[in-house]
Amino acid sequence: MPVVLLVDQKRQTADLMKTYLRADGYSVDHTPDPSKALELADQIRYDVVVTDLVMSGMTGFDLYREITLHDVCVRFVFLITPSSDALKLMGSLDRRDVIKKEPLSVNEVISKVRAAFMNSR
């Protein structure tokens, strides 16, 4: 079973994504804390990490850099809420790996996670 790490500080959004990802056959771990996400990624080999791009304490891009130092096979999907901070960080990302959170399309989440999983193999 493919394993996804979801790092999102909005509980309602995370609960919705977890429900749909699990229904699509993924095992999903969730944490709102990017530091905890690093700990989890040290213990578990994730296929895909879905992370908010702008978070308190660490950006999703920082999380990407830290996790991929130890696991080059893991794939990332970034969640963005339109803001100046997100737009600055987004400049260096591949648009295929970005999902707008508002409004959130669960179909887009599933589609991008499937694509990322297929590319992680």
pLDDT of residue 93: 56
Q: Please tell me the predicted confidence (pLDDT) of residue 57.
A: 87
Tell me, what's the pLDDT at 118? Answer: 83
DSSP designation for 1: -
Structural class in CATH, domain 3-120: alpha beta
pTM above 0.75, yes or no: yes
Q: For residue 23, what pLDDT is reported?
A: 96
Mean pLDDT by 10 residues, the chain (121 residues): 94 93 96 96 95 88 92 89 60 63 83 84 55
Residue 11, token pair as written in the block: 């509980």
- Please tell me the distance from the alpha carbon of residue 60 to that of residue 23, in angstroms, as a whole number: 25
CB 110 within 8 A of CB 21: yes
What are the φ/ψ torsions at residue 24 (nearest 5 degrees)? -90, 5
